[in-house]
Structure 1
Amino acid sequence: MGAGKTSIGRKLAKRLGVPFTDTDARIVAAYGPIADLFATVGEPGFRAIERVVVAEALAAGGVVSLGGGAVLDPDTQQDLARCEVVLLTVSEDAVADRLSSGKRPLLVDGLASWRRISAERAPLYASLADRTVDTSHRPVAHLVEELAAALTQGTS
């Protein structure tokens, strides 16, 4: 959460000339605000919806931005094993400003929730990633160029 998946993903897709899909945006367009989904169908219901949207997006190809919890699903993990996965990380000091919007239903107690969720998921994220990029203090344009070069040349 707060690593810049959408902004970097959108710009990277444009730079590579491929489609971009933000699975959270697709969910919102089809089902309404994520916070409302959590309130009405709970996290398990949301994760079921998310799984369908993620599978469709990954099958379509291009650059796909997944919500942070999407990788908790074993089927999504299997799908990602067949993809080039980039993990975007962010430091705690850099994420504090980025999370001030209040639009994240799992961050009930702000930065403390982010710390807990990040620590819980970090090993899984790392195991799925083919490359990791820290987005904390670098301009998006530089990150996009670095990723585009690495992805088109097949280097880490």
Structure 2
Amino acid sequence: MIGAPGAGKSRAGKRVARLLKVPFVDTDRRIVLRHGPIAQVFATRGEEYFRMIERIEVARALKERAVVALGGGAVLDPETQIELGSLPIALLTVSAEAVADRIGDKRPLLRDGGVEAWEKLVAARRSTYERLATRSWDSSTRPIDAIAQEIADWVTSGAGPEPEQELP
């Protein structure tokens, strides 16, 4: 699962894993367990160091038979992009209005700019998210349980791309 910070990857991912009866892996959570709070890693070691340890955790997680939620910026790494190329990738999107209540000061790249910083970050990453995604779901207004059920159904049905929309 990929997407912007606050899109609901962890919340949906836990539910999808439960429905599929497989483990759930949140790469950000693993980083926190092994290295401490992400904001602290950014503050003391910098973004370059964080991206290095993030890459290691993502590589480990993608080798597991599990539902994996990647941190919002993990998709920026070229090696991660290559690894994701052969997997079914669910993209969760969210509007700026809906994410306003979800993001907080624990997200180092958004700490000083709030929703405006989030919008810039998402705009910079959007094409990468969309290129890597097999299918996408918007979590702005829909219940996360409904989205998780759709993702689980999609995975069990073969996890192909979205059906083509018929044009009028």
Distance 2:134 2:22 in 1: 19
Letter in 2 for 1:106: L
Query: 2:166 corresponds to which residue?
Result: none
Residues 1:106 and 2:113 aligned together: no
Letter in 1 for 2:67: V
Structure 2 unaligned regions, length at least 5? 163-168
Distance 1:114 1:71 in 2: 16
% identical equivalent positions = 51
Distance 1:15 1:52 in 2: 27
1:132 to 133, 136, 148: 136
Letter in 2 for 1:105: P
Letter in 2 for 1:67: G
Structure 1 unaligned regions, length at least 5? none
Aligned partner of residue 137 in structure 1, secondary structure: coil
Query: 1:152 corresponds to which residue?
Result: 156
Which aligned runs of 4 or more in structure 1 are off by greater than 4 angstroms? Answer: none
- Give the length in aligned residue pairs: 155
Query: Where in structure 2 are the equivalents of 1:50-89 lying within 5 Å?
Result: 50-89=54-93
Higher helix share: 1
Residues 1:94 and 2:98 aligned together: yes
TM-score (norm. length: structure 1) = 0.97
Aligned partner of residue 63 in structure 2, secondary structure: helix
1:3 to 1, 7, 10: 7
Distance 2:151 2:91 in 1: 11
| Post-superposition offset of 1:61 | 2.4
Distance 2:24 2:118 in 1: 26
Query: 2:145 corresponds to which residue?
Result: 141
| Post-superposition offset of 1:57 | 0.3
| Post-superposition offset of 1:82 | 1.5
| Post-superposition offset of 1:140 | 1.1
RMSD: 0.8
| Post-superposition offset of 1:60 | 1.1
